[in-house]
Chain A
Amino acid sequence: MGDYADNDYALALGKEVAIADVDKELRLLWEEDKASTNASLINLAVYSERQGAIIKNSELVQIITREHACRALLIGVDRDSPEASIRAWITAHCHLSHGRKSVCCEQVAFQLTGRSTGRLRNTVFSHLNSDLPLVFWWQGELSSLFSERLYSLIDRFIFDSSEWSNPEHGYACLSEAMQSEQSLLPMDIEWTRSSQIRMAIAGLFDDPMAANALEHVSELHVVVHPDHRMAGLQLLAWVIQRTGWKRSSELSLDSDLGDVYYYETSAGSSVTAKIVSDPLSAPVGKMEFIAPSMEVRATREVGSPYIRQELHAGEHHIERRTPSNSDDSAELVMNQLSRAGNNSLYCAVMPEFLGLLNAE
C-alpha cells in the first residue's frame, strides 16, 4: 500500500472488515446508531489505480453524498504489486438533511493488489444495492480491467477524458464498449466542465439579434487550459453539430494561434475556428463568436465562480454574470448526477467530436 500506513486507511475509510463479513458488519454499523436514516438512490463505484486514491476518494464521496444519497463502493487497485490481496473497510458518511434529519450513506472500500485484481467483479459487485443503478466513476486511464465483464454491469460510466494521455485510445475503448453494451451511458467530466459555458452561449443566442447573426459569424474562438484541450474540441464539435456548418478545408495544426479549423455556414460565410491553449486560462476560459455586426462572448477567469456573458450588436448590449462550473471533480460529478437523463446531447455531439479528434 505504498506510502500510506494502515492507520491512514483506517482514519479515512473506517473499520477494516473481512471480505466475507462486509454485509454483516454494515448491518452492525446501522444497529449502533438508531437516529440515522440510511439513504441510497444509486450505487456509486469509484475506481482508481492511483496509489492511495481510495483515501482521497472517500473525501470526495463525503461531499457527493450531501446531495446524492448512494451506496459508495471505493475500489483501489494496484495491479503491479507482487502480493495478491483484497482488503475492505466500511464506514458511513452522514450529514444533516436540511438541518434536521441525520442522513447516512454506506461506504465500502476495497483495496485489491496483484493477481487479486482479477477478482474485482466478483468481489466488489456482490455488494451492490439491488435494483439501484450502478454509476461507475473510472479515474485515470482506461486499463485492461475495463472489459466487457466489467462494463456490462454498468449503467452510467463517468470518466474524465482530460486525464487521458492518449484520448484517441481512450475513446476507441469507450466506443467499443458502447457498441457492445448499448445501455452503457457515457458521462465525460470534461464535457461537464463546459456545461455552464454552453448554457451561457445558448442563453446569449436566445437573443434574436445574436441568433440572426449566427449564419454570418466569421470567427469562433475557444480558449482552454492546455490540460483541457478535449473540452475545447468538444465545444467546437457542439457548435458544428448544432449549426450544421460544413468543413471547408483541412485543419491547420500547430499554428502559432493554436488549432485552426475552417468552416462554411449555410449562408456561405467562411468561419475560422480557433482552439487556443493558454496556460493562464481557466479550464474552459472563453468561447467567442464574431460576426460583422455582432459579438457574443462567454468568459471565465481562473478560479472565478462566475462566467461573464457579453452580447454586443450595434447599440444593443447585454452583459451579465452567471455561475460557472466548479473546478472540483466532486462538484462536477455531482453536477453530472443531478442532470440524470440519457446524456443525449453528449451522445449526439460525440461523432463530430471523434471526427475532430481522429483527424489529428
Chain B
Amino acid sequence: MINPFRKDLESRSRPEACTVVIFGATGDLTHRKLIPALYNLQVEGALPAGVKIIGFARREKSDEEFRLGLEVVNKKVSRSGHDDSIWQDYAENIHYHKSEFQDASGYERLADRLDEIDRERGGNGNRLFYIASAPEYFDDILANIKNAGINRNKSGCWSRVIVEKPFGTNLPTAKHLNKVVSKTFRERDTYRIDHYLGKETAQNIMVLRFANAIFEPLWNNRCIEQIQITCSENLGMEGGRGGYYDSAGAMRDMVQNHLLQLLSLVAMEPPTDLSADGVRDEKVKVLRSLRQWDTPELVAENVVRAQYTAGHVDGENVVGYRDEDRVDPESMTESYVALRVLVDTWRWSGVPFYVRMGKQLPKKATEISIHFKEPPTVLFNALSGGVPGGNVLVMRIQPDEGISLRMVSKIPGSSLRMEPVKMDFHYATSFGKGSPEAYERLLLDSMAGDATLFARRDEVEEAWKFIDHIHHAWHESKAAPVMSEYVAGTWGPKEADDLLGKNGHKWRRL
C-alpha cells in the first residue's frame, strides 16, 4: 500500500523508514557529520518515522555511552542547535554494536539485531549501510555483510550501501573496490557519496544552466574563452591530517572526486530528464571526453604540482609541507596542483578548463568562473585601452555561496571610459535561512532511492583513468615533471601562472 499522504507534500522523492548501520561509528565523520545531519532532519520533521541507527565499531561502549558521546558533539556542531526534547526521542533510536570489522560473528549478531528491529517495526526491513570506516576495511566489511546475508533485499524492502571516499587510490584499486561492492550490492543500491554534490550551490549549477534560457546559448566554445575551477584552502596539515594527506595529495584528495564532479556539471550536455541515470549519463560523457595527459611530456606541459614552503597564512607563521606533522621529510606528495583540462567535445573544443587546488593559500574558497570571450576589436575595443576585461560569470561554491556576473560599464563623465562592474547575488543575503548541510540532503536521497547526487561506478573509474596517467608520470616515469614550490600564504607557484600565461590567460584573483 502506497502512502497517499506523501503525494505533493514535498517536491522531492519520498524517503523511507530504514535502519541505518554506520561502520566506523566512533569516528569523526559519524560524530561531526552523520549524526548531526540525521538529527537536523528529525528537527525539521523530514526524517521518516521509525528510522533506527546502529553504530558499528570496535571499541567497547554501551548504547548510553555511545549516545552521550554523540550528544556532546551534536551540541557543538548541529546546524539547528540542540533541543534536549528532540534529542531524547532521536537518541532512543540510536544503538551501538561492538564488533571488529573482520569478525564474521559480529555481522551475524548484527543480522539478528536487524531482524529484531524489523519485527518490532512490523516487517519493514529497509537497511542503509554507511561505510564510514578507514578504506582498508572496505573489503572486509562488504564481504562480511554479504556473508551474513544482510545485503539481501527482503520482500518489498531494500538494502543500500553508502560508500565514503576515497573510492580507491587509483584505477585498479577503484575497480577492485567497485568489484567488491558489486559482489554485495547491485549498482542501483550503491551510493558513492561526494559531499560536494550535496552542496546547495553545486546543485544550483544545473538550475542556473538549464532553468535560465539566457545562459545555455552562450555555454560553448563560440562564446566562452576559458573556465576556471578553484579550490583554495588556508589550512595545512592541522589535527594530524598529515598522515592521510601525505599518502593522497591534492590530486587524489580533491581533484579526482570533487573538482572533476564540478567540472562535469559545468560541461555536461542537458540531460534528457532529471533521473539519476539521466544526469549521470551526461556527466560520465564529459569524463570520457577528457583529453588524456598520458605521457610525462604532456603532464609536464599541462599539469603543475607543488609543495608549500614556510610562510604566513592569516598572519600566522606556518611551516613548510615537508616539515608538517606526520609528513615524510622527503615527501613527493603535492599540496598544490593546477591542471589544464581539455574536454574533447563539439561544445568545448578548444576551451581550456583550468583546475587548481591548494593548501595554505591565502583564503578558503571554492568557485567556478566562466570567462567569456572579449567582444570583437571594433567599436570600444578600438579605443585606447580597449574594453577592460571580458564578462565573467562566477559560481561561488563555498564560503559566501552565490553567483556574480562581471560586466563592463561606462564611467559617468563626458569622456568614454569603461570599468568592470559586478552584479552579485549572495545566497546568505537573499535567503536568510541557512542551507541544509550536504549530508542531510544526501542521506535523505539515499533513503528515497535517488542516486542523482551520487557518483556512479563508471564516473569514478573514468575520473581515475584521467588522474592515473598524471600520477604515473609523476611517480613512475624516468622523466618525472618537477615538484615546484610556493610560499605558504601565496596563490601558488609561478609555474601555475605560466600554465595559463602560455594561452594568454590569468588565474582569476579571488
Residues of B within 8 Å of A319, CB to CB, are 89
Contacts of A318 in B (CB 8 A): 49-50
* Interface range, A side: 35 or more
Chain B interface, number of residues (Cβ within 8 angstroms)? 39
Q: Is the CB of B48 within 8 A of A316?
A: no
- CB pair B3–A202 under 8 Å, yes or no, is yes
Interface 1/0 per residue, A196-210 and B, CB below 8 Å: 101111111111110
Residue B347 CB within 8 A of the other chain: no
Determine if B432 and A69 form an interchain contact, defined as CB atoms under 8 angstroms apart.
Answer: yes
Q: Name which residue of chain A comes closest to B43, CB basis.
A: A323
* Interface check A87, CB cutoff 8 A: no
B85 near A198: Cβ-Cβ < 8 Å: no
- Interface residue B428 (Cβ < 8 Å from any Cβ of A): yes
Chain B nearest Cβ from A243, distance in angstroms: 5
Please state if B8 and A344 are interface contacts (CB–CB under 8 Å). Answer: yes
Q: Does A84 contact B (CB under 8 A)?
A: no
Instruction: Decide if B5 touches A201 in the complex (CB within 8 Å).
Output: yes
Contacts of A119 in B (CB 8 A): none
* CA A196 to CA B42, docked complex, whole Å: 12
- A39 and B429 contact, CB distance less than 8 A: yes
Report the separation of the CA atoms of residues A354 and B7 in the bound assembly, to the nearest whole angstrom.
20
Q: Is B375 interfacial (CB 8 A cutoff)?
A: no
Interface contact A338-B433, CB-CB below 8 Å:
yes
Is A101's CB within 8 Å of the partner chain B? Answer: yes
Contact of A345 with B by CB under 8 A: yes
Question: Which residues in B have their C-beta under 8 angstroms from that of A201?
Answer: 5
Min CB–CB distance B251 → chain A (angstroms): 33
A206 B89 Cβ-Cβ under 8 A: no
User: CA of A319 to CA of B85 in the docked complex: distance in angstroms?
Assistant: 12
Dominant secondary structure at the A interface: mixed
- Residues in A with CB closer than 8 Å to B122 are 207-209, 313-314, 316
Residues of A with C-beta under 8 A to B4 = 205, 214, 242-244
Q: Using known A-B contacts A206-B3, A211-B1, A344-B8, determine if residue A98 contacts B49 with beta carbons closer than 8 Å.
A: no
Q: Which residue of B lies closest to A99 (CB)?
A: B428
Given contact pairs A320-B49, A321-B89, A207 touches B430 in the complex (Cβ within 8 A): no
Q: Residue B2 at the A interface, CB < 8 A? A: yes
Once the chains are docked, how many angstroms separate the CA of A100 from the CA of B428?
10
How far is A346 from B94 in the complex, measured between Cα atoms in Å?
36
Q: Is there contact, CB below 8 Å, between A67 and B430?
A: no
Q: Does A115 contact B (CB under 8 A)?
A: no
Residue-wise, chain B 425-449 has the 8 Å CB interface mask toward A (1 for contact) of 0101111111000000000000000
Considering the complex, give the chain B residue whose CB is closest to the CB of A315. Answer: B120
Is A41 close to B, CB under 8 A?
Answer: yes
Question: What CA separation (Å) do A205 and B2 show in the bound complex?
Answer: 9
Known: A205-B5, A208-B124, A313-B122. A67 touches B49 (CB 8 A): no
Residues of chain B from 203 to 224 with CB closer than 8 A to chain A in the complex: none
- On whether the beta carbons of B1 and A212 are closer than 8 Å, the reply is yes
Are B45 and A208 in contact, with the CB atoms below 8 A? no
Q: Please tell me if the beta carbons of B3 and A205 are within 8 angstroms of each other in the complex.
A: yes
State how many angstroms separate the Cβ of A267 from the closest Cβ of chain B.
Answer: 10
Residues from chain B with a CB closer than 8 A to the CB of A315 are 119-120
Known contacts A206-B16, A321-B85: A97-B8 contact under CB 8 Å: no
Does B123 touch A at the CB level, under 8 Å? yes
| Residue among A206, A244, A323 making CB contact with B49, cutoff 8 Å | A206
Q: Decide if B9 is an interface residue (CB 8 Å cutoff).
A: yes
**Residues of chain A from 71 to 123 with CB closer than 8 A to chain B in the complex:** 95, 97-98, 100-101, 103
State the CA gap A316–B123 with chains docked (Å). 10
B5 surroundings in chain A (CB, below 8 A): 198, 201-202, 205, 238-239, 242
Question: CB-CB < 8 A to B76: which residues of A?
Answer: none
Instruction: State the CA gap A177–B122 with chains docked (Å).
Output: 48
Contact A206–B14 (Cβ < 8 Å): yes
Asked if B11 and A341 sit within 8 Å, CB to CB, the answer is yes
**Residue A311 at the chain B interface, CB threshold 8 Å:** yes
Whether A242 lies near B7 (C-beta < 8 A) is yes
Across-interface contacts of A207 in B (CB, < 8 A): 17, 49-50, 121-122, 124
Judge whether A206 and B17 touch: CB under 8 Å.
yes
Q: Kindly state the separation between the CA atoms of A309 and B156 in the bound complex, as whole angstroms.
A: 25
- Which partner residue on chain A sits nearest B88 by CB separation? A321
Interface: A215 (CB within 8 A): yes
How many Å lie between the Cα of A243 and that of B2 in the bound state?
Answer: 10
A155 CB, min distance to chain B CBs, angstroms: 17
Nearest-neighbour CB distance to chain A for B47, whole angstroms, equals 8
Q: Is B44 an interface residue (CB 8 A)?
A: yes
B86 at the interface (CB under 8 A from A): yes
Q: List residues of chain A with CB under 8 Å of any chain B CB.
A: 37, 39, 41, 65-69, 95, 97-98, 100-101, 103, 196, 198-209, 211-212, 214-215, 238-239, 242-244, 306-307, 309, 311, 313-316, 318-323, 338, 341, 344-345, 348
Q: Could you list 10 A-B pairs, sorted by A, with CB under 8 Å?
A: A95-B432, A97-B428, A202-B3, A209-B121, A212-B1, A215-B1, A320-B90, A322-B42, A323-B45, A345-B7
Q: A41-B430, A41-B431, A345-B9 are in contact. List 9 more A-B contacts (CB 8 A).
A: A68-B431, A196-B45, A209-B121, A316-B120, A316-B121, A322-B42, A322-B43, A323-B43, A323-B44
The 8 nearest A-B residue pairs measured at CB = A67-B432, A209-B122, A202-B5, A345-B8, A322-B45, A242-B4, A316-B122, A320-B89
